[in-house]
Structure 1
Amino acid sequence: MSLRPLFPETRLRRLRYSKVVRNMVAETALSVDNLVMPLFVCPGKNVQNPIKSMPGNDQLSVDMLVKKCGELLESGVKSVLLFGIPESKDEDGTVATHEHGIVQNAVRAIKETYPEMYIIADICNCEYTTHGHCGTIVDGDVDNDQTLVTLAAQAVSLAQAGVDMVAPSDMMDGRVGYMRKALDENCFEKMPIMAYSAKYASGFYGPFRDAADSAPQFGDRSTYQMDPRNSDEAIREVEMDIAEGADIVMVKPALSYLDVIYRVKNEFNVPVAAYNVSGEFSMVKAAEANNWIDGKRVMMEIMTSIRRAGADIIITYHAKEVADVLNGKI
């Protein structure tokens, strides 16, 4: 291995003096096309409930959700990830499988007004169960195989409503293959699956649980979400999901798991999504509100770091703001 020339023959600052050159040689590119905006849909009409722990985000009734989608499209954000807050819940989340469930109705309404909006539906039960866990409870814990039945039915129902992609976030073993089979049997073989493949049992989800009313009523989710100490396990999870038919794999959260994003991209070279989660978003907003940081600058630095780690898709509550920065609006 030959040694590279050292100073003064080599001056790395030569390529930093001009903004034009800096842009020419930049190794990482961030585009509006990389962004997905999560949205929360709730019952009612003309409802816009601010989520206090997530400034600038709201629980939206279907009519207001459609309006929000129009605003996002104007900013260049072409995709949303939907979470539902139903009028009523049940023990196993079957309310999420109904033809006129909250997300199903939202999908139809968005597509009627903005057919160009690409809609991803989160597939999970935590928002729809009375106990707040991600599946059917048997002997005090989530039963893996019974939960698969509900998840597959939810995916098929949302596909019938017109969703463009399904995204199982439950972390049940085998759910991608089970869901793929159910979709194919119902003539949705073209429906892509974005699997929450490496979803950690993280402390960064607090604000989301306020937004989606999905906090577990007992215990925690450590028996099905991943241990934050593990990355080899994440590789095994991703490998299984790919083998079962996942088209995109996801790492969640993003910032504390940039190493996992990097490993997944390098080991599998498949499309990778990263979820810049509610706690990560809210920390930036809180620090910005206290004038401790330049919020816009930190936001863009975070987005770039996630892309640099290897993520092709960034799901983030910053999506519209990032788009506005990229488009020179703010």
Structure 2
Amino acid sequence: VELAGWNALETRSVGSCDAALEALAGGQERSLALAAPFLDHVDASLWQVFRGQLAAYVPELQKDLSTYGAVDGSATPRARCGAAYREHVEAYAACLGTPGAPEPQRCAYAPRAFLAQSGLQLGMVEPFGSIADACPEVFGRDVREELRRMGRESAKVVTARLDPVWTELVDRLGAVSEVHGAVSEICVPRRRRFSEADLDTLHGRLARIGETLSRPPDATIASAWRVGGGSFPVPGLGDVYQVASVARGPNALADQVLSQARGMREFAFARAVCRTRRESVPLAVALVDARASELQFFGYLYPEELHCEGLGPLLRRAELSR
């Protein structure tokens, strides 16, 4: 390699997404601090209503299941289902506490607010156990669904009293996770490169997402609630039973943010150049001054780092000439 000619080439350097990711994380942290009182209020209200539901119905459920206990290999399918349902109900009964003891402040299985990647959700973490899919038919009753219904009814009561503007703001905050995920995915090293123009476009797209997130709430498009079942994933918890979710109105800002983040990701994947579709080993590159018999540079480089369409070497000139 002729060193003078190499150094005359216009070069590019590897960029970093650290600043963007840190800004997103910092903004999310500050926003969560502002939203914490609202989320605490939602959780406390849900527990208050749900506890009343448990107090009214769980003793009756315990009585109905009192004849079912531990089972062995000879137990009938109905006995197995009865034992599983009883274990399930007892987990909720523990949330009511014991007579004479202080009232529990929280219950692990009560409905509560989650900021999922798709936005603000209300869900129930259910007791760990094995209830066969056939149990509702075998037992003639779906005890788990009865408890889930209590959660949905509690959510219906509480969400009717929540401020719609705060609901929209916190739901919008949940969409930041989608933005963070899109930026992280774009920045994962995948042996691909971008032109200056496309990088400018990506910067502009990310800036517009920030502008959308910072808009003041609009009461005309404030979100309502949809009560209903389903499930959604929560890191560290797995699938959580959904008792209610935000039903966004037309032009909801959270939906705009989600659309912009997904569009940014799709643009990046479509515009990346020199994408490697097969495994390859790096090249060993040595730059030698033949007249002085001196090694100027030695390194292991992938082909696209040396030449990628019209982008030039992916190294700083100082590194090539040291």
Larger Rg: 2
Q: TM-score range, shorter-chain basis?
A: under 0.3
Q: Which has the bigger relative contact order, CA under 8 A and spacing at least 6?
A: 2
- TM superposition score normalised by structure 1: 0.22
The structure with the largest helix share of the pair is 2
- TM superposition score normalised by structure 2: 0.22
